[in-house]
């Protein structure tokens, strides 16, 4: 298999993964809107985990309320950078973790982008009542877990020179 074909297949797998993450996020949000909106919520584990409908017009923890255009522009820029990085990164086994994390981050950003673009707010519905954590959604989980994985990879797996592909 030539290098161009392998790169295209890698892109298809990466992009398909992102689409699957987005579909799961949007399906969960659709369910939350149809089953939780207008209700007092649903307890899954008493005192630990609940599902509660919330329309978040801000970003993490409700910061910067009402700045939807800013979030839309930032998300488009982020996704463009991720796409640019995908095409720059060497398609070797060594970089697969970085490629996967990039896809997870992109899926999370795109999931919340869709909400902001079409609803004007992000649907949040997962509430960890045990620690009174702010209500969040699947896309938020993708972004947080992807961000943590990225930090771990940068600190413990890759070396500075492994990112020389960015400078080329």
| Catalytic residue set | 124, 140
- What would the DSSP string read from start to end of 56-118? E-SSGGG-STT-HHHHHHHHHHHHHHHHHHHHHS--SGGGHHHHHHHHHHHHHHHHHHHHHHH
Cα radius of gyration rounded to whole Å, the chain: 18
- How far is Cα 53 from Cα 32, in angstroms, rounded to an integer? 6
CB 75 within 8 A of CB 116: yes
- How far is Cα 106 from Cα 125, in angstroms, rounded to an integer? 21
Which of these, 161, 163, 68, lies nearest to 118 by C-alpha position? 68
Which of these, 141, 116, 104, lies nearest to 28 by C-alpha position? 141
Give the Cβ contact number of residue 4 at 10 Å: 8
């Amino acid at each position: 298999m030539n290098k161009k074909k392998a790169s295209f297949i890698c892109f298809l797998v990466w992009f398909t993964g992102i689409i699957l993450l987005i579909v799961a996020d949007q399906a969960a949000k659709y369910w939350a809107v149809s089953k939780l909106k207008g209700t007092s919520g649903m307890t899954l584990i008493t005192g630990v985990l609940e599902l509660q409908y919330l329309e978040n017009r801000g970003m993490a923890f409700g910061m910067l309320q009402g700045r939807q255009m800013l979030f839309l522009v930032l998300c488009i820029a982020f996704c463009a950078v991720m796409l640019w990085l995908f095409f720059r990164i060497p398609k070797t086994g060594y970089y697969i973790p970085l490629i996967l994390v990039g896809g997870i981050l992109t899926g999370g950003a795109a999931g919340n982008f869709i909400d902001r673009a079409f609803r004007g707010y992000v649907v949040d519905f997962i509430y960890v009542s045990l620690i009174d954590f702010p209500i969040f959604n699947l896309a938020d989980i993708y972004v947080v877990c992807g961000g943590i994985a990225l930090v771990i990879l940068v600190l413990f797996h890759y070396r500075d020179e492994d990112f020389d592909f960015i400078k080329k």
